[in-house]
């Protein structure tokens, strides 16, 4: 079964992908993403790989006859891709050279352009799940891209908020957030010439940083070459800072938010929408997980167990530790 089901309470579509339960358990001594598996080229730097068990498909089956005029169903149309960060099985994002991560940024841009050519696709979402704490079973370094045919509710809410704020204030909402954080300073973790990383005033995760571009741009394909390099640089530094915080591979969900595609209702998105990356790290301390429990899930009433003005200090210290490691000779893997 693979279909979309309408939730009338939230006015949102739910993906049903029960066929994914049939995914085989991978042998511990074999990885489909490693050269020699026959699934990927014998040599590559970064690579797009069509998901073998996609929740969304370009040729989806007809929905099962379980819906009604009230409970609507729709085909699970879309695209699910795996983005392989490296041919090396155990390397992680902060261990890669900036030049290597630049190639990853270029691949994200290439796939955004390609997927946007399909007029049925409304939103292209690049993300990475890292660590067993967020359900990852494949250690080979990778992220994913989903091309949605229905605009996800959270993205729609964010777009509407940005559009409404711009209409009232003639100012980008994320640009205002950036200026507020730069003025306050204490929640900023690190920055480079093109990007800023901070713990937003409102984040519901103790270490839930945002990365935002300083110049107002709505999507990655608009970045200059300098901005692409700086984006690769800050991705390496932020994820390296996470690993330095508790001296362990730090789990996270990394979510890239950029402009929608093929959506006339958001036609002037370049005016009001602002590219940014949201991190959702599930740890609240070295050995404790910040669970999304009943209040968060059932009422969407988020609760951060730590004041971000305190955890920002910890992250800045972790960043200094990460920088010292780089100066002592720890460097990324060659491509």
For residues 1-7, give the mean pLDDT: 92
What are the b/e assignments for 65-87, b being 16+ CB within 10 Å? eeeeeeeebebbbbbbbbbbbbb
For strand 12-17 and strand 2-7, is the pairing parallel, antiparallel, or unpaired?
A: antiparallel
Q: Which long-range contacts (CB under 8 A, 24 or more apart) does 165-168 make?
A: 165/272, 166/271, 166/272, 167/272
Please give the biggest Cα pair distance in the chain.
Answer: 65
**What per-residue confidence (pLDDT) applies to 335?**
39
What whole-number distance in Å separates Cα of residue 131 and Cα of residue 144?
A: 14
DSSP three-state, residue 54: coil
The model's confidence at residue 39, banded by pLDDT at 50, 70 and 90, is: very high
**What per-residue confidence (pLDDT) applies to 326?**
82
Q: Say whether pLDDT at 221 is over 80.
A: yes
The model's confidence at residue 26, banded by pLDDT at 50, 70 and 90, is: low
pTM, entire model:
0.95
**What per-residue confidence (pLDDT) applies to 325?**
86
For domain 31-327, give the fold.
Answer: HIT family, subunit A (3.30.428)
216 is catalytic: no
Read off the pLDDT of residues 100-136 as tens digits, 9 standing for 90 and up. Answer: 999 999 999 999 999 999 999 999 999 999 999 999 9
Share of the chain above pLDDT 90, in %: 89
Q: Say whether pLDDT at 8 is over 60.
A: yes
Let me know: does 98 contact 333? Beta carbons within 8 Å.
Answer: no
Read off the pLDDT of residues 159-212 as tens digits, 9 standing for 90 and up. Answer: 999 999 999 999 999 999 999 999 999 999 999 999 999 999 999 999 999 999
Residue among 140, 142, 216, 257 flagged as catalytic: 142
For residues 249-262, give the mean pLDDT: 98
Q: Which of 218, 204, 230 is nearest to 304 (CA)?
A: 204
Compute the chain's Rg from CA coordinates: 20
């Amino acid at each position: 079964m693979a279909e979309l089901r309408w939730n009338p309470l939230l006015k949102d579509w739910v993906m049903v992908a029960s066929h994914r339960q049939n995914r085989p358990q991978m042998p511990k001594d074999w990885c489909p993403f490693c050269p020699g598996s026959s699934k990927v080229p014998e040599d590559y730097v970064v690579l797009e790989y069509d998901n073998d068990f996609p929740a969304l498909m370009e040729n989806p089956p007809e929905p099962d006859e379980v819906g009604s005029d009230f409970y609507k169903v729709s085909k699970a149309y879309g695209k699910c891709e795996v983005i392989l960060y490296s041919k090396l099985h155990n390397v992680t994002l902060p261990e890669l050279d900036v030049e290597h991560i630049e190639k990853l940024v270029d691949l994200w841009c290439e796939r955004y352009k390609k997927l946007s050519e399909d007029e049925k696709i409304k939103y292209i979402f690049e993300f990475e799940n890292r660590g067993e704490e967020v359900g990852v079973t494949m250690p080979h370094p990778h992220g994913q891209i989903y091309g949605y045919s229905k605009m996800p509710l959270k993205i729609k809410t964010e777009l509407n908020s940005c559009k409404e704020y711009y209409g009232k204030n003639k100012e980008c909402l994320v640009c205002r957030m950036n200026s507020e954080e730069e003025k306050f300073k204490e929640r900023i973790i690190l920055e480079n010439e093109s990007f800023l990383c901070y713990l937003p005033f409102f984040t519901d995760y103790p270490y839930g940083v945002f990365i935002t571009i300083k110049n107002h741009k709505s999507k990655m394909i608009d970045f200059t070459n300098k901005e692409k390099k700086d984006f690769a640089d800050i991705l390496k530094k932020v994820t390296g800072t996470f690993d330095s915080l508790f001296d362990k591979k730090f789990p996270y969900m990394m979510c890239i938010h950029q402009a929608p595609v093929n959506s006339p209702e958001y036609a002037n998105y370049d005016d009001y929408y602002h590219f940014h990356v949201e991190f959702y790290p599930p740890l609240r301390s070295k050995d404790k997980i910040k669970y999304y429990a009943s209040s968060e899930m059932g009422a969407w009433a988020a609760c951060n167990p730590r004041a971000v003005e305190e955890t920002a200090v910890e992250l800045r210290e972790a960043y200094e530790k990460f920088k010292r490691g780089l100066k002592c000779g720890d460097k990324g893997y060659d491509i």
